[in-house]
Amino acid sequence: MSELTLDVQGLSTHFLTRGGVVKAVEDISFSVPRGRVLGLVGESGSGKSVTGFSVIGLVDPPGQIVRGKILFQGRDLTKLDERELRDLRGNRIAMIFQDPMMTLNPVLRIDTQMIETVLAHEKVPREAARQRARDALGMVGIPSPDERLVSYPHQFSGGMRQRVAIAIALLHRPDLIIADEPTTALDVTIQAQILAEVQKLAREVGTALIWITHDLSVIAGLADDIAVMYAGRIVESGSVSEVLDRPMHPYTHGLIGSVPSRNARGTRLRQIPGMTPSMLNLGPGCAFRARCARADAACAADPQQSTPVAGRTLRCFHPQLEVTA
Amino acid sequence: MTTWMLRRLIQAAFVMLVMTVIVFIGVNVIGDPVEILISPEADQAERARAVAALGLDKPLWEQYWRFLSGALQGDLGRSFVFNEPALKLIAQRMPATLELAITAVLLSVIIGIPLGLYAGLKPNSIGGRIIMGGSILGFSLPTFWVGLMLIMVFAVQLGWLPSTGRGPTRELFGVHWSFLTWDGLRHMALPALNLALGNIALVLRLTRAGVRENLPMDYVKFARAKGISPNRVVFVHVLKNILIPIVTVVGLEIGGLIAFAVVTESVFAWPGMGKLIIDSINVLDRPVIVAYLMMIVLLFVVINLIVDLLYTVLDPRVRLETKE
Amino acid sequence: MSATSQEAAPMPPKQETPFRRFISEYSESPVAVVSFIVVVLIVAIALLAPWISPQDPYDLAQLDIMDGRQPPGSRSMETGLFFWLGTDDQGRDMLSGIMYGLRISLGVGVGSAVIACIIGSALGLIAAFAGGKVDTGIMRLVDLQLSFPAILVALMILAFLGKGVMNVMLALVIVEWARFARTARSAALVEARREYMEAAKCLALPQWRLVFRHMLPNCMPPIIVIFTILVARSITLEATLSFLGLGVPITEPSLGLLIANGYQYMLSGKYWISFYPGIALLVTIMAINLVGDQMRDVLNPRLKR
């Protein structure tokens, strides 16, 4: 087993709003070894993005990390001050955002936005920084990078902008990249290209990757491990092949069942009944029980995390152990 | 781009033409030029001669044509009071007004943007609330009264600054300026601040609103995720985005400041064209009034053109659209 | 289940009229309530000035030049009248002068705003309803007008017409109508898309009835808000013009003219001749503005939940 780049233990991130406490992330643990890809899956509002922002230390108030450890190469990020975190951000830990149309500053040229990232972490001459920026653009497959450097974001297509954002993330060859649904806003063909490129880069550079998405098919093709989030908790995790082939949590089961490609043509798509619960002042007990066919009185208590099989975790009183899909 | 410029120029020329008609009608139809231009002691023959000399017996359209062709040649009549070409009088007084207005613009940006940034970054702090409360005062207080209070406090009570006048000037490019001498600057301080007050409030509020609007945007979070310093995030990333609407508004307000200088110049006895126009209205020196009005409309049209151009330079998105 | 919950539902309060709701929402801000009381007081003072002022400031027989430029809190040598706020250069009691000045300032401000409101709103409604060339024509005029600052337009008109109460009011109306027109038009365009207008059209009601009986009442809230704010602006502009000597004549001094009269004495430390009319002007403008702000917050549909 290779060394862990990131090891999150019992992380809780809460939003203290006027209407009450939103436990966006509650007691989650996961780890990402060097060079591996973790897929973080869940519906919108399940706490995937907040998890990503917690790791990079950019949870906006009124949100705050209330418990837990985030060990990055052995250092606990929750103990670092803002200055130390800033040295890591964009340098050892990089992040790619969901909407490429919004992440680049519309009124600054691409070279400005790339060079400032280089100079924020390394004392190199401007020309050298520029050279680095150009190489990074070439690496993500942007043609004629010299010309593109002096362009403004609006002169790029969405896919190109996301490549630029990825190039910025790669500038310092980070040890960890957090990608928050980076391909959901893109066309399917461009999505496939970017996925392939990111995968290749992660392998070559040895970067650990957290890929946040609601799209199981992306995870199936890209990730090594998977963690399924529901209402702020990781309900199930394990290696991709294990979890997708033999899901144990009813929610994971439902998710897999609702992927269109896995259903035969002409049959109705299966869907999970009910809606995601409101996260505001969420009471105790399994948050999924209202939508779960297997729920009973036991589910009113909090299910503890168990390890049914080596390398897998689960939070459920009534796991589905036989293969039904 | 060129067709766009051409269209804007034609529009501007049209506005100027409309204004000449309005001013002409105002002076010659609503007011009675004979009564104003000819001494009341003149007898019948003298009156007739004067009317003929001024062309007032001609049909209205012909009079307008004379007025317009005169205006195009820079001839808007002679001042009765100073017995000099009206346009020359205005031109002499213009630097003082422009100097005051531009200083006021600088003040509103220098004071307004930092205060607005502070109020936007810390909206719930005591300082932020005081700034916002103060900006309401800046909007609603009458300029002339604030001017009086400034004189009362800083000139009369404290005696720190001179109360009125322009002070010594120094010549640069053949024009006299106050800002080149220390005493001139001291004279300019109160009037410029007075004139700037409303605009400080305006810039402050725009800046605050811009900060509040931009901070939650993804590009700010992405910039922070890149690990660049918070100062760079605010002063480069956020400020550059806010600056576009601010520059537009401030630019458009320069015309308003030049017009409003009428009040400040009267309070502080600042010898600019605003004070000249008030004095001229009071003694019914019509050629000067007409020259002032035409001049200020011209200034307005030119300023609007420049602001439009500047806007396209500042915002890369607009620039692209106009290029294509 | 549905039966029980219906019974359990609270009865709506007896007289939940829009007006009552407006009052209760308005009263949520103490500052706004105080401002409203101040406005009422100011209007009362202006209306009742001839009966409550200590002196008729324009009856020359009551003035004594010996009382000129007395500081606040002094007593007349001749009549024994107590000057709370001092006297001006002609021995006029400043308190009385301010009360009468308020009368003129408010009269001119409110009067011009009412006329501008009627003319502007009518033109705005016509523009919205007629559409096409009429709309374009009216709105072009509005845009042209609004691209020049109010003070300049007013200056121009007074330069042509000369000073006087009526001319000042005319200038203010010309300055303000455009804002009413713009507000009324945009409100009417919103209303025109509502269902009740469709219904009224289906009933084939005459067009004037459609505009004035059905549309106008629903366009009133934004017009009322802009009216309040423009009253404050008219008062400010009138004071400014009068201060410049282009506004009301010396025989009918508004607050602005009172301030102008005291200006020359301020440099010699006799501050009260300008200062107290200034405070009166300030309080008036601020109070009206605060009332207008709160009304805008209450009436603005975008802020409603």
Of all residues in chain B, what percent carry a pLDDT higher than 90?
A: 7
Question: Once rounded to an integer, what is the mean pLDDT over residues C298-305?
Answer: 56
Rg from Cα positions in chain C: 24
For the record, the structure tokens of B259 come out as: 């017009």
C-beta of residue B141 within 8 angstroms of C-beta of residue B193: no
Domains of chain B: 2-72 (no CATH), 88-314 (1.10.3720.10)
When pLDDT is averaged across residues B23-35 and rounded to a whole number, the result is 69
CB contact under 8 A, B225 and A94: yes
| Mean of pLDDT over chain B | 81
Assigned CATH for A4-92+176-189+212-314: 3.40.50.300
Q: What is the pLDDT of residue C116?
A: 94
Residues A34-56, mean pLDDT to the nearest whole number: 86
CATH of the domain at C236: 1.10.3720.10
Is the predicted pLDDT of residue A37 greater than 80, yes or no?
Answer: yes
Q: What is the Cα–Cα distance from B241 to B235, expressed in whole angstroms?
A: 10
Residue C231, pLDDT score: 92
Q: Which residue has the higher pLDDT, C75 or B291?
A: B291
pLDDT, tens only, C201-224: 777 777 777 777 777 777 788 888
pLDDT above 70 for C21: yes
**pLDDT tens column, C110-127:** 999 999 999 999 898 888
User: Residue A56: is its pLDDT beyond 80?
Assistant: yes
Outline where chain C has alpha helix (H): 2-8, 18-26, 30-52, 94-130, 132-146, 150-161, 165-192, 195-202, 207-209, 216-243, 255-266, 272-299
All residues of chain B having their beta carbon less than 8 Å from the beta carbon of residue A97 are: 218, 221-222, 225
Q: Does A88 touch chain B (CB under 8 A)?
A: yes
- Say what the pLDDT of residue C277 is: 87
- Report pLDDT for C83: 67
Q: Quick check: A89 and B315 CB within 8 A?
A: no
Among A67-81, B56-70, B123-137, B188-202, the least confident range: B56-70
Note the pLDDT tens digit of each residue in C44-72.
888 887 888 777 777 766 666 666 667 77
Pick the residue with more confidence: C239 or C250? Answer: C239
Q: Averaged over B220-233, what is the pLDDT?
A: 87
Predicted confidence band of residue B221 (pLDDT cuts 50, 70, 90): confident
Name the closest residue on chain B to residue A95, using Cα atoms: B225
Interface confidence (ipTM) of the complex: 0.84
Across the interface, whether the CB atoms of A105 and B240 are under 8 A apart is answered yes
Confidence of residue C4 (pLDDT cuts 50, 70, 90): very low
In Å, the largest CA–CA distance within chain B is 88
Q: What is the mean pLDDT of residues C152-171?
A: 85
Question: Other C-beta atoms within 10 Å of C230: how many?
Answer: 26
**Quick one: pLDDT at residue C303?**
45
In the prediction, which pLDDT does A267 show? Answer: 63
Give the three-state DSSP class for C203: coil
Domain enclosing residue C259, as ranges? 117-305
Among A107, A154, A168, beta carbon nearest to B226: A168
Give the pLDDT confidence score for residue C304 in this predicted structure: 43
Nearest Cβ partner for B145 among C147, C244, C278: C278
Confidence of residue C6 (pLDDT cuts 50, 70, 90): very low
C7 pLDDT band, cuts 50/70/90, is: very low
pLDDT of residue C77: 66
Provide the pLDDT for residue C80: 65
Q: How far is CA A34 from CA A223, A256, B245, C264, in A?
A: 13, 28, 47, 82
CA dihedral B130, B132, B136, B141 (to 10 degrees): 50
Residue C31: predicted pLDDT: 82
Q: Are strands A225-230 and A37-41 parallel, antiparallel or unpaired?
A: parallel
Beta carbons of C243 and B23 less than 8 Å apart? no
Mean pLDDT, residues A100-128: 87
Which DSSP string corresponds to B44-66?
A: HHHHHHHHHHHTTTS-HHHHHHH
Question: Sorting pLDDT into bands at 50, 70 and 90, what band is B318?
Answer: low
Q: What is the phi/psi pair of residue A104, to 5°?
A: -90, 140
Q: Which of B97, B253, B281, B286 to mutate to test the interface with C (most CBs of C within 10 A)?
A: B281
Cβ atoms of B270 and B166 within 8 Å: the answer is yes
Query: Does B130 score more than 80 pLDDT?
Result: yes
Q: Give me the pLDDT at residue A314, please.
A: 83
A62: cis peptide before it, omega within 30°? yes
Mean per-residue pLDDT, B188-215: 89
pLDDT of A105 above 80: yes
Mean pLDDT of A158-173: 85
* CA-to-CA dists, residue B209 to B242, C290, C302, angstroms: 9, 20, 17
Question: How many structural domains comprise chain C?
Answer: 1
User: Residue C5 pLDDT more than 50?
Assistant: no
DSSP class per residue in A163-188:
HHHHHHHHTT--SEEEEESTTTTS-H
Rounded to whole angstroms, the Cα distance separating A129 from A122 reads: 9
Q: Does C229 reside within a domain? A: yes
Q: What is the pLDDT of residue B323?
A: 40
Cβ contacts (< 8 Å) between A88 and chain B: which residues?
227
The answer, yes or no, to whether residue A183 has pLDDT greater than 70, is yes
Query: Which chain B positions have a beta carbon within 8 Å of A113's beta carbon?
Result: 223
Chain B and chain A touch, per 3+ beta carbon pairs within 8 A = yes
Quick one: which of B98, B86, B97 has its CA closest to B290? B86
Reading the block at residue A67, the tokens are 């418990």
Task: Please indicate, yes or no, if residue C75 is contained in any of the structural domains.
Answer: no
The mean pLDDT of A102-115, rounded to a whole number, is 87
pLDDT tens column, A229-261: 888 888 888 888 888 888 888 888 888 877 766
DSSP-based helix, strand, coil % in chain B, nearest 5 = 75, 0, 20
C86 half-sphere exposure, CB direction, 13 A CA radius? 17
Note whether B316 contacts A154, CB cutoff 8 Å.
Answer: yes
The mean per-residue pLDDT over the stretch B88-102 comes to 87
Comparing B254-268, B277-291, C6-20, C258-272, which segment has the lowest mean pLDDT? C6-20
Mean pLDDT of chain C: 80
User: Is A214's pLDDT higher than 60?
Assistant: yes
Give this prediction's pTM. Answer: 0.79
Task: Report whether pLDDT(A48) > 60.
Answer: yes
* Averaged pLDDT, B64-93: 80
